[in-house]
Amino acid sequence: MKLGFFTMPIHPVGRDWRETLREDQEAFLLADALGYCEGYVGEHVTDLAENITSCTMFLASLAGRVKAMRLGTGTVNLPNSHPATVAVQIAMLDHLLDGRLNLGISPGGLLSDAEIFGNLDADRNAMFLEGIDIVLKLWAEAPPYDIDGKYWKLTTRRTLVPEIGQGIIAKPLQRPHPPIVVTAVAPFSRGVAAAAARGWDPISANFLLPKWVATHRKSYEEGCVAGRRTIDLGQWRVAKSIFVARDEVTARRYARGPQSPYVHYYNSLVTKLVKNGRSNLFKENPDMPDADLVLDDVLDRLIIHGTPDQVVESLLRFRAEVGPFGTLLYAGHDWVDPALARESMRLMAEEVMPKVNGRIAKETIAA
């Protein structure tokens, strides 16, 4: 199992934006230094807590600073951007990162973003599919393009001057394009199956109960079969909220105490998703009334915390519940205590993952 990084992030409203942006950058630089294999960052436009408004701009700020780790958009919310804008920004970013870019895409899950961009009542899944199809056509086809979609129409026929490069969309460094991943936030996700059939790979969200994460394996396998791909669970990424400390008391306090950034994160997220009609993500029984949803029960299922040895055991139990996957994405949270936050990331890379992989290797040999 490889170790990566994923952050939305969610910071307390009112923190200095400059400070949180620097903190988020520092988390990526630390992950790179510790050998995390890849790092993703989300984007939202109308949320002061989720303060990365452009994942492409944020990742561009890391160009030349992150030395080995692949970086990924997590995700570009396609209905909210013109496909030509997405195509050229991703192409440029891929060059800035020397071909170490993964393209994460989604229809977008924040309803206030959809409202401000005017697509709240639109079929955003259809816009998402049309958007990525246009981006891929722009990279694959010769100008003047002449793309006639339901939501977007693109051409440079009237202004094309090929001998000087005018009217031509730039292509990414990776050919035919960067690897494409999609975030999966729904149980029994049909999107995972559809993505796998097209050659794309899933990231299961860290705010989805393990019971529902487990359903993504079948969806992914069905999609691979439909797309005549070899089923490779090593391409399945799963995000998880984890905190590691040297002692159990510190781990419990930081992960579940009154000032915990993890509690703040899930309190914000549960509030948001319940109001947006997505409370099913946090329920073992979908028929349970929203009024019976208890935050502490959600935290028990979604946060792994403890000493390195305790986290190893928790991760192995989690893997046994959801099934084998290729990359564990350590979820980024606000750094209430920067020293503890850094130490957790270090312990995760240097002590937890070697033991997890040692145990997985022994289980594989025994089997």
Domain ranges of the chain: 2-74+179-267+295-366
Looking at every residue in the chain, the average pLDDT score rounds to 97
Determine the angle formed by the axes of helices 308-322 and 353-366, rounding to 10 degrees: 50
pLDDT at residue 243, as a whole number: 98
For the segment 122-138, what is each residue's pLDDT rounded down to a tens digit?
Answer: 999 999 999 999 999 99
Domain at 2-74+179-267+295-366, CATH class: alpha beta
- For the chain, residues with pLDDT lower than 70 are none
Number of other residues whose CB lies within 10 A of the CB of residue 214: 15
Distance separating the N- and C-terminal Cα atoms of the chain: 17
Which pair of tokens denotes residue 365?
A: 């040999």
Q: How far apart are alpha carbons 243 and 225 in whole angstroms? A: 36
pLDDT at 367: 73
What is the dihedral sign for C-alpha 172, 177, 181, 182?
positive
Query: Does residue 300 contact residue 346 with C-beta atoms inside 8 Å?
Result: no
Q: What pLDDT was estimated at residue 366? A: 85
Rounded to the nearest 5 percent, the helix, strand and coil shares of the chain are 50, 15, 35
pLDDT given at position 178 = 98
Whether 231 and 68 have beta carbons less than 8 Å apart is answered as no
Closest CA to 242 of 338, 329, 357, 354: 329
Q: How much is the pLDDT for 364? A: 86
Q: Are 10 and 49 in contact (CB under 8 A)?
A: yes
Q: 269: exposed, middle or buried (C-beta count within 10 Å: 0-12, 13-18, 19+)? A: buried
Residue-by-residue DSSP string for 136-188: HHHHHSPTT--EE-SS-EE--TTT-BGGGTBT-----SSSS---EEEEE-STT
For residue 283, the SS3 value is coil
Q: How far apart are CA 68 and CA 97, in angstroms?
A: 10
217, burial (CB in 10 Å: exposed 0-12, middle 13-18, buried 19+):
buried
Q: What is the pLDDT of residues 175-232, one digit of tens each?
A: 999 999 999 999 999 999 999 999 999 999 999 999 999 999 999 999 999 999 999 9
Give the integer Cα–Cα distance in Å for 255 and 234. 29
Read off φ and ψ for residue 304, nearest 5 degrees.
-100, 130
The pLDDT tens digits of the residues spanning 348-365 come to 999 999 999 999 999 888
Per-residue confidence (pLDDT) for residue 165, from 0 to 100: 98
Work out the burial of residue 156: count CB atoms within 10 Å of its CB; fewer than 13 is exposed, 13-18 middle, 19 or more buried: middle
